[in-house]
Homo-oligomer: A and B are copies of this chain.
Amino acid sequence: MSGRKDEELQGVTLLGNQGTQYLFEYSPDILESFENKHSNRDYFVKFNCPEFTSLCPKTGQPDFAAIYISYIPDRLMVESKSLKLYLFSFRNHGDFHEDCMNIIMNDLIKLMDPRYIEVWGKFTPRGGISIDPYTNYGKPGTKYEAMAEHRLMNHDLYPEKVDNR
């Protein structure tokens, strides 16, 4: 019935697992990967993560964001349930919006060594202003490094309408 054989799912320990533990302090080790079966080809995988929450590092007040993660895999791919648990682990962790986005990208680079990756966070406002950090990366010394520069240069030419409602 399934296109993935059991041995192709070996690194995947969390998906469908009962009794999942939810960690609410920053836990990069929870991330799991599995093999890319189409590494002969460049293609994108995007994760839409509208349920991200962390704390303000100075006041401790909760922050909320939608995070969009897109990458071109090389040999490895991030398993989505482990990504969910990893993002949950920011729940009681304090950091600036800009730092969170860079940390998430760094951890995913370390896990997967992707050809290309980008992370975009869109936070809810505090005091009438909201902050949206965007960071990206292409494997140094490859064409993906130029791709990262190209995508940054063309980033968000059309800011979405925000009216705080």
Does B22 lie within 8 Å of A127, measured CB to CB? no
Interface string of A36-52 (1 = CB under 8 A from B): 11100111111111110
**A residues within 8 Å of B by Cβ?**
1-4, 9, 12, 15-22, 24-26, 36-38, 41-51, 53, 55-62, 64, 66, 68, 70, 72, 77, 80-81, 83-84, 87-88, 91-96, 98-103, 120, 122, 124-137, 147, 149-165
Docked-complex contact B3 and A94, CB < 8 angstroms = yes
B1, B41, B161: the one within 8 Å of A102 (CB): B41
Minimum CB–CB distance from A66 to chain B (whole Å) comes to 7
The smallest beta-carbon distance between A157 and chain B, in angstroms, is 6
Instruction: List the 3 closest A-B pairs by CB distance, nearest first.
Output: A18-B18, A3-B95, A2-B94
Q: Give Cα A96–Cα B9 distance, bound, in whole angstroms.
A: 10
Determine the chain B residues whose CB is within 8 A of the CB of A99 once the complex forms: 3-4, 37-38
